[in-house]
A and B are shown apart, each in its own frame.
Chain A
Amino acid sequence: MRQLAASAVTPELGAISGGERKTSWIGTLGDFRLIPALERNEENVAFAATITGKLVLLLLFGGGLIIQNSWRNAAILLAILAAAAFLPNHRRRVLTIGSLLWLAANPYWFDWAVPQFIAGSSPSTAGWDFRALYGVSLVALLGLATAWISLARRHPALFFCRRPLVTLLLLYSALVMLASFTDLDRVRAAAWIAIVVLGAYLWFLAYAISDQSSRDPDSPVSEIGTFHAFWGSTATPLPKGAAYLRRIESKTSRDLAITQLKALKLLLWADILGFCNLGFGKIAHGTLGIPIFEDAFDRCAAHAPYPGYLCWLVLLAAFAEKIFAISVWGHTAIACCRMAGFRALRNTYRPLSSRTIADFWNRYYFYFKELLVDFFFYPTFFRYFRRWNRLRLAVATFAAAAVGNMLFHFIRDIRYVAELGLRRAVLGFHVYVFYCCVLAAGIVVSQLRSSVRRARPPFLGGLPAQFGVLLFFCLLQVFDDDGRTHAITTHFAFLLHLFGVGG
């Protein structure tokens, strides 16, 4: 019966799971620890739980922060983290106050160029104080969020509380239409301010309102604390929303000590990777003279490409630098989150050890993938094609990796609509649409094939599979362009040039 239960679930599991850990030779190599596992030593844990231990940890952590931040920002972060460390029973209040303090200290964390661009192009808004308007719109957004969250607590069955993302996207689209088609300059400028502010917080809001339908939702004040929390995020909430934070909060002083020791290790690793990235850049672009990707691409677009071998080196260097950059940024943010007492998973976890495309996508930018899974994959998977498991998996994956991915990036780079107009901005997005479709197709195929692969031992320890995955993502980055400068034909020309085809 035990075997029956196991085999009853295995085929579907194999088809869907993308994660495989520590079985490849790179994984085995990865077991070597440059930074010792401090949290596995009970004496370290006991010391970290004392007042002196907390102070020592904070001091060391502050030293790590200064490497990547200004003194001012490192001091603010350290003050918030100290409050979180010494007031564990008030951690969520500290998070809210800390995040608002961080916002006040660094208010222009998102793309604030659009309203200024609009102001510059319109004489009737020339006298507007956009900084003041920005402040007002930010306060208005937080007010709207508080009201919406409160309403969702009391009336979860209302459409805009039950389907927050659909409502947010409709609202956002209406604002973009208004800004694009109104003849009134002042209305357009005001609409653009709203678009920029709403776009920056759209996914945070979606998480917060969705949380209100859970069994133990947070209060509006606690939810607001997760809106671009002080440890940093992009438009992608790190690490997800309040519901996730509740699950990963350290419950005991021992838990907290272990989490903080892990935080220190992760920050140290981020700093090491940051230095490696710097060194890599100096050697690759300085000593070896490998051009940067944009330069090589522009040369190709101008029909004067670098030699094929050099373009390969350009592509490989750009790929390596991308992985370095996202690792350093994500590790630093998650290290701060852990130091505040939340046992968050890393944003990037050994992407080079991936043996499937789905696994790489999971390991490369975990919280972005989670956002797409939460808001696009699950809703599609559980609503449509429920009789055909493989089809529903494929459709849901496409909804997340293609549709959700496109929407996210179109909203994130909304400045193109202001600069080029809606029509040209949409048409110019075709390269990224292609990228998303190929990515989604790769993930679907990888998920469907993984059950077959798992049945037998990996060929040559999985090395060819790892190479194939890295090659796929390395080549796919030729199309990972959410700008609007080059047509897809130019991207194909670059790709073909890598293989010696064309000029």
Chain B
Amino acid sequence: MGVGLQGMARPAARAVSGRALLWRELTGRRSRVFYAFIAPWVLGFLIYTAWPMVLSAYYSLTSYKIGLSPTWVGFSNYDYLVRHDLNFSDAVRNSVTYTAFSVPMGIALSLLLALLLNNQRVRGLTFWRALFYMPTVLPAVASSYMFAWMFSYRYGPVTSALRFVGANPINFFTTDYAHWVIILFALWGFGPGMIIFLAGLQGIPRVLYEAAAIDGAGRLRSFYHITLPGVSPVIFFQFTNGLIGAMQTFQVAWFLEAYSLPKSRSVFLGTLVYSNAFGGTGIGTAGGMGYASAVAWVIFAIVLVITAMNFWGARFWVHYEQI
């Protein structure tokens, strides 16, 4: 029995001492220095991220206008949103369409341009990089006005070009083409993506291509078996980021609305959050901060589901190791 006790006590003692060790490390001098440095961030995380998330989840279950106190309404915001709010179904359709086109097309465009520039015989790399990056540094208000002006129904250069080739002018803002103007605007910002791809391409060892060439692989095969796997982490990164950004699109739609876009085409999930929270014209019986919070959580849910799927799928096509 004594032996048994001893035998049992030992691992327990070891576990305690392990825990004690961890505790000592957590409260030790080194850690305390770390805490001191990290404290502002932890505070910021609590004040500006964690607690607001809790509040936002709570608000989404209330009817809440600023200045008044929130009243509990259960899930009726979500219920109204999904079943009765026509703006919501338009917004989901518009945001999802926009994301589904702009993100993959943006990735393809930036990868293509990066491939072209990743050629030692192409001169002026710095110049091209800066030029393609440039549209994204311009203020969105200014650049969207400039971009929209290109597509102005009566006097825009695109209309002039159409007239020049004998085609009928298209009113880009009151027809379904409005989506394409917004998507094209997003593509205009392909520069940063291209630069990341360039760095990714430069990270692929040349040896791989040389070996493939010796083995008789053509350009297409090299591209498919070396280049694509090589930049797959970058594609993954851009997809994840692009998705979060695109699902929250606000500015472009908001500015282009001034170009008399009909609401069914200009309402996005982002603009729906804004117009319910601050627009003053709450929709139907809902509206206000509570309703807007519910829309925000729907955006979050969509992003979360797609991102989770993306992370899960990554194991099949994203290659992190480099041989």
Chains A and B come from one and the same complex: no
Q: Which residues of B contact A (CB under 8 A)?
A: none
Q: Which residues of A contact B (CB under 8 A)?
A: none
